[in-house]
Structure 1
Amino acid sequence: MTLSPSLLADARLLLPVAIGLTLGFAAGLLHFHLLRRTARAIAEGRVGLFLLQACLRFTVTGAALYLAGRWQAAALPAAALGVMAGRFVVLRPYRKSVP
């Protein structure tokens, strides 16, 4: 069986999309988990912890999206989609049910 050029092109596009999605999902999980902890730190009046967690959240998420974009253009939208999927997973237990 020979590999056609279009099949190879699809494989070259699929790998960055899969890696970008995975990278974004991991960054989204961390970002929104720390968001919950940051809200708790604000409620407890722990300003130093709040600042540290906020900086960590934005640094990790920004770095993941930056690396995905620098690696290949197709990986950036996949990483952004992964961040949103991570958001859905972390915040789903806190959703209010609508009657």
Structure 2
Amino acid sequence: MHEVPTVQGFLDEEGRVRVWCRWCVEWHRHTVADPGPHPLGRGVRIMGHCHAKDSPYLDGYRVLTSARPWRAVRGSVREASRAQARAIERSLITPRIAELRTQIVSMQ
């Protein structure tokens, strides 16, 4: 089995882990299999929910959960519109989608 990428995860109000996917240009939501609080800083392998065919996350990724909550970082990036999401699914990457893919979640 090959090594999977490591990404930053953030807990939402429902206890789910949110991961910013720069390839799909959206927040992926994952339910944590372990009952109870998610261990901060421990890497957990999760299968990706990507619909972008060029995503390196298609085989999953390792999530390191941040102590910062999702509500503190979710507004630091802009998600794709529905039309842009459909274009991403069809591998039609416009200049605007390429620009959106450069966004980085602000940790400040």
Please tell me the TM-score bracket, short chain as reference: under 0.3
Task: Compare relative contact order (CA 8 Å, sep 6+) and give the higher one, 1 or 2.
Answer: 1
TM superposition score normalised by structure 2: 0.24
State which structure, 1 or 2, has the greater radius of gyration over its C-alpha atoms.
1
